[in-house]
Structure 1
Amino acid sequence: MSDWGPVFVAVVLFVLLSPGLLIQVPGRNRFIEFGNFQTSGVSILVHSILYFALICIFLLAVGVHVYIGSWVISWIWLFYGLEFYHERARETMVEWAPVLIGVLLLVILSPGLLFQLPGNSSHVKFGSFKIKGKTIVVHTLIFFAVYAILILAVGVHIYTG
C-alpha cells in the first residue's frame, strides 16, 4: 500500500496557501488581504515559508499517513511513541523529499508568477500576477499530478540524519 499522506497534505496546503485565493500576506494595499485574486513575488515568498513550516509540522513532526485500501481509507496519525499500522519502526533518518518537492512546486506553480493556465485573454499568460478560479483548479491538478508521480510513482527520496 502506498502512503498518500504527503500527497493529501501537500495538495490541501497548496490550495489553502496559494497567494491571492483565500489570503495574501503581504497584500498590495494592506498587510493581509482576503480573496483579492492577485499575487506578488513577496507574497509568494511569504506563503512558501508558511507552506514549508506547515508541511514540516504535518509530515515530519506529526507524521500524517493515509493508506488507501481496497474499499477503506484508513487515517493514521503517528505521534512520537505511538505507532499504528506502520510497516517498519521510525528510523532516525528524516525524509525531506515530500517537503522540498512541495515547496519547489508551490513556487513554480503559484498562479501568476511564472505562468497562468488558462490566462485571462489567452490560453497561457506569463507573469501576470493575477489569478482566477479556473487557474487555481488547473494549477492544483498539475500540482497533484506532478507531486504524486514524483513521490509515489518515481519514489524520490532525500534523507538526512
Structure 2
Amino acid sequence: MTPPTRTTSFDARLVRGLIGTTVTTYDLVSDGASPESTSRTARCQNGPRSPQTVGKFLCHLDEDPKQIALMRVYQQIPITGTEDADHDTLARQAVPPGVCGELESYTLLQSGGCSAVPRFLGHAERIQGERDLLPGGYVRYLVWEKVPGEPLTEGFFWGLDDSAREDIRSKFRAVYK
C-alpha cells in the first residue's frame, strides 16, 4: 500500500535536507499523516524584512521517542526570482536575523513562571553554509513541548460561537493578570 499523497504549493527546496535529520537533540518525524507536517504549515513571508520560510514540524527527543515536541524553523531564503542565481548574488542577500518575537515571548513567559503555555525546550541559530539555499543566511530553530489538545488557530477560534469565544477570552485575561 502506498502512503497518502498531499497536494501542496510548498516548495521543498526551502527546507531540503531537514526531514529525517537530527537538529540539536531532536529528530524530525517524517510521518506525512502528522497534523504538523511541512506541507500544511510551511509558509513564505516577503515583507520589509528579508524573505524567509517558516515551517512547523513534529519531532521527538533523540534519546526518547516518546517525548514529543514541536519545532519551528525560520530559514532565510532568496528573493523571489533569484533562487537559481550564482553564489555571489545569493550571498549578497544574506542579512543577520532580526529579533524573534516568538523566542522573546517564550523566554519572558517561562522566566515569569507562566504555566499556561507549553514548556519551551530550547533554540538554536546557525548560518547557512556555502551549499545551502542562501549562503550566509540564517536558520533559527525553536522547540517546545507538544501539549494535549488542538492549537487555538484563528480559523478555529472564529468558527466558535460567541459564548465559547468569550469563555476563551476570559481564561486568557485571568492568566494575563
TM-score by length of 2: 0.22
Computing the radius of gyration from Cα coordinates, the structure with the larger value is 2
Structure scoring higher RCO (CA < 8 A, sep ≥ 6) equals 1
- Higher fraction of helix: 1
- Higher fraction of strand: 2
TM-score by length of 1: 0.23
